[in-house]
Chain A
Amino acid sequence: MVMHAKDKNQSRRAFLKTSVVGTGGLMLSFNWLSAQTDTWEGKEVRALENVRLSGHIIINADNSVVIYSQNPEIGQNVKTSMPMIIAEELDVDWNQVSVEQADLDTEKFKRQVAGGSQSIRKSWPVLRKAGATVRALLISAAAEQWGVSAIELRTETGYVIGKSGEKLSYGSLAEAAAKQKIPKKVSLKKAKDFSLIGKSVMNVASREIVTGTAKFGIDTQREGMVYARLLHAPGFGQKLVSFDAKQALQIKGVTEVFEIDNKVAIIADSTWTAIKGGEAIKTIWSKPLTSEDSKVQRKTLLDMVNAKGQNAKVNMGNVEQGFKKADQVLERTYEAPFLPHNCMEPMNFFADVTDEKVELYGPIQTPENQRRAVAKLLKRSEDEISLGISRIGGGFGRRLNGDFVLEAALISNKIRKPVQLIYTREDDMTAGVYRPAVTYKFKAGLTDGKISAYDLSGAGINMRNTVRPGTWPQASVPNFKLESQSLESHVTFGYWRAPTSNFLAFAEQTFVDELAEIAKKDPIQFRLESLKQAIDAPFGKVRYEPLRMIGVLKLVAEKSNWETKKKGLYRGVSAYYSHNTYVAEVVEITIVGGQPKIERVVVATDCGIVVNASGAHNQAMGAVVDGIGHAMYGEMPLENGVPQHRNFDTYKALRNSEAPKVETHFVKSQKAPSGLGEPTLPPAAAAFANAMYAATRKRLYSQPFSEQGVVLQ
């Protein structure tokens, strides 16, 4: 494909040559491609009429266009928004376009990952260049046919147009286009000329979803396929001692039961028999571990953050001196529980291992990593392994971890049959890969109403890092320290939507609300002054742009009418930078029967250029409600290593009647797009908690809030 650079250094050099020229927009040098003596991996004639022009694009003779969406679709809408970027530069009518999910193909695509809110940000230049290059090839083919110079030609929604209005469809030019030389330079559109990017474009899978024809991983059915279920240890750290499968094997349809990787596998002819088979097995496990207990761990984490001088990640100035000189000092501790992801589609995967090949298919956020891991596990070459990506019923970070892919591969390797592994909800919720429990201790000194010393100590379970150096309020504070510690545990770690930020933002932004109150300042004003300090007289370097944070704070103040107070309406504000995106939120509540009713959440986001307005609203809105919902109810306590919730009867998820109205606003920008699947989640809980304080004068220091008597109205 177009962007397939063999030499990383060459690729970088090419990228750096990007420059703005004249009136023609952006020019890009494809010199690494010309260095490849005109070979172009994607240039293959698929059929006489259909020419595949790059890894991403097929142009058919009838002028219809197929765009392959390279990244896994977990609900973040990349299957719509990534092809939109290509279509914009290719200059085709969106109605001409159909979208297909690409399989894992590291020859054609780079970074086929759904994670870190990076799909759009990382692929933005690649997809634009892919579209623009193919467009240039089509123009070049038309120029050749007409015997004119390419400079005289332009394009319009799927046609190359000549000087006197003559036109040729892309479809009629496709075959010739594939034989053209890759141009050294292509011009990209100026942001102001975008006709598709920025519009509201409907999810390309909508019709399939609403008619029940969209196929998720769990819907996989193949000839000769068997179903597998795995029983895992009831508690973390327990080992399988023995099992009795006599009863299970008497169930019609249960064919095999065996131990695999400290679990018991049940093989059956249907999902239901596999589920029932699992219930009929008697297992004996080693003794539960009393250390793997939420109460014990919570106390240990607290002791850890109270112990001084542990693993400083940042240490500037002298915080102790700063506290001594400060007018006021505030110290607060915040605690978060384990959280399961609870994707609506439980974990599952298909594997078919034979002597010749390994076929993998299903819902996974990190296909490339899993192919590598399966190759290592089964001692097979990666060339023998194919991996197809299904539509995915929710990711939230759970499917970055491929434990279930390896399990499916192991089972199929053993029984040498095509296998669909399926987790029941109980298997899924109790299997771990949780957002780790974490505790933060903040201490800050105020001098003349400004933060003069700031010391944050975090301790999390199996968390390599609990803090985020380089983000606010770093650079605004002369004495600044961040410490992080990890408590080792058998509980498996998982990235959960907006890892680290999802709770750190709550702690930080409620702490800052208290600081503003002590400083007798409006909480937005307090933040703005601090950000101004980071611009005018920064203490060291940071990796965010304070000016853009100021921008979203001002936008949220305007859109929420922050200055206008209304009787009985209580407001809280919060602002946070994550995934290269700036977000400020205001939550408005009223009190009904002594409990909060969220009237409105106003969200201001600066994520650079918005690719799909409707998709962007959906992401921003969904993540806010997700953040408030989990802050309200989310919790997975462990007793002697055993997860205490197994299903949605006791695990409380936010329901429709509790979902607040979310208003989303985006900063108008011509900067390249940044993340959007996650960044509106982190500030939400703090904005709500700060509104709660405004209403009740009571602070919230731990999640879930429901444990502290908060009930949403």
Chain B
Amino acid sequence: MDLQVNGKKYTIDIDPQTPILWVLRDHLKLVGTKYGCGIGQCGACTIHFNGTAVRSCSIPVAAAANVAITTIEGLSEKGDHPVQKAWVDLDVPQCGYCQAGQIMTASALLSQNNKPTEEEIKLGMSGNICRCSTYTKINKAVKQASENL
């Protein structure tokens, strides 16, 4: 089947029930998207599906035909999306493992609501677990990014 990821076309021969996460990681070698729980509970595998944040671990690749997929590798050309810049600027990451998912959730949130309130940010980011507890810094970074969109 054909896939469109980060603006590139890929043709792959694969069981259509394979979750997109594993197609990205094992077959397309795009390992920036992370595995955390496999059941859509932790948000580590978040990608964009036509601009909307989805859990790539819980969507079979069959559902991705004719969909523009964006992964952390394709969020910006030079790693300079306002969300990425705010993350670096505020020194958000600790272990860093969940952060690709956090950034993909945050960037989708901001594309739908470019001036979120503190409560809207907290709620919007609550599907993503950070085991290092960088939460309050994440929220500050989302706020900062929203001011620099």
Do A and B belong to a common assembly? yes
Chain A contact residue count (CB 8 A cutoff): 65
- In the complex, the chain A residue whose C-beta lies closest to that of B44 is A344
Q: Are A344 and B42 within 8 A (Cβ)?
A: yes
A101 contacts partner chain B, Cβ-Cβ < 8 Å: no
- In the complex, the chain B residue whose C-beta lies closest to that of A623 is B133
Q: Are B87 and A656 within 8 A (Cβ)?
A: no
Q: Are B133 and A626 within 8 A (Cβ)?
A: yes
Q: What bracket does the count of chain B residues touching chain A fall in?
A: 35 or more
Chain A residues with CB under 8 A of B128: 656
Given A343-B131, A394-B131, A649-B41, verify A661-B136 contact (CB < 8 Å). Answer: yes
Chain A residues with CB under 8 A of B73: 211-213
Q: Are B33 and A657 within 8 A (Cβ)?
A: no
Q: Are A211 and B84 within 8 A (Cβ)?
A: yes
Q: Are B72 and A211 within 8 A (Cβ)?
A: yes
CB distance from B105 to the nearest CB of A (A): 10
Main secondary structure of the interface of A (DSSP, over half): loop
- In the complex, the chain B residue whose C-beta lies closest to that of A614 is B91
CB distance from B56 to the nearest CB of A (A): 12
Contact with A along B99-142 (1 / 0, CB 8 A): 11001000000000000000000110110111111111111000
Q: Are A344 and B98 within 8 A (Cβ)?
A: yes
Chain B residues with CB under 8 A of A391: 95-96
Given A212-B71, A425-B38, verify A625-B135 contact (CB < 8 Å). Answer: yes
Q: Which of B29, B37, B128, B138 has the most CB of A within 10 A?
A: B37
- In the complex, the chain A residue whose C-beta lies closest to that of B71 is A212
Chain A residues with CB under 8 A of B42: 344, 425, 648, 653
B65 contacts partner chain A, Cβ-Cβ < 8 Å: no
Q: Which chain B residues in 45-97 approach chain A with CB under 8 Å?
A: 71-73, 75, 79, 84, 87-88, 91-97
Bound together, the chains give a CA A211 to CA B80 distance in angstroms of: 9
Given A75-B94, A647-B41, verify A653-B131 contact (CB < 8 Å). Answer: yes
Q: Are B26 and A271 within 8 A (Cβ)?
A: yes
- In the complex, the chain A residue whose C-beta lies closest to that of B79 is A211
A629 contacts partner chain B, Cβ-Cβ < 8 Å: yes
Bound together, the chains give a CA A618 to CA B135 distance in angstroms of: 11
- In the complex, the chain B residue whose C-beta lies closest to that of A625 is B133
CB distance from A425 to the nearest CB of B (A): 5
Given A344-B44, A625-B133, verify A656-B19 contact (CB < 8 Å). Answer: no
Among B38, B97, B123, B138, point to the contact of A344 (Cβ < 8 A): B97
A396 contacts partner chain B, Cβ-Cβ < 8 Å: yes
Contact with A along B1-40 (1 / 0, CB 8 A): 0000000000000010011001001110111111111110
- In the complex, the chain B residue whose C-beta lies closest to that of A618 is B94
Q: Which of A219, A272, A392, A662 has the most CB of B within 10 A?
A: A272
Q: Which residues of B contact A (CB under 8 A)?
A: 15, 18-19, 22, 25-27, 29-39, 41-42, 44, 71-73, 75, 79, 84, 87-88, 91-100, 103, 122-123, 125-126, 128-139
Q: Which residues of A contact B (CB under 8 A)?
A: 73-77, 200, 202-203, 205-207, 209-216, 218-219, 221, 227, 252, 270-272, 275, 342-346, 391-396, 424-426, 614-615, 618-619, 621-626, 629, 647-649, 653-657, 659-662
Q: List 11 A-B contacts (CB under 8 A).
A: A205-B96, A209-B87, A210-B72, A212-B32, A218-B34, A219-B31, A270-B27, A343-B131, A344-B42, A656-B125, A656-B126
| Closest A-B pairs by Cβ, 9 of them | A212-B32, A75-B95, A393-B97, A212-B72, A625-B133, A659-B135, A209-B96, A75-B94, A272-B22
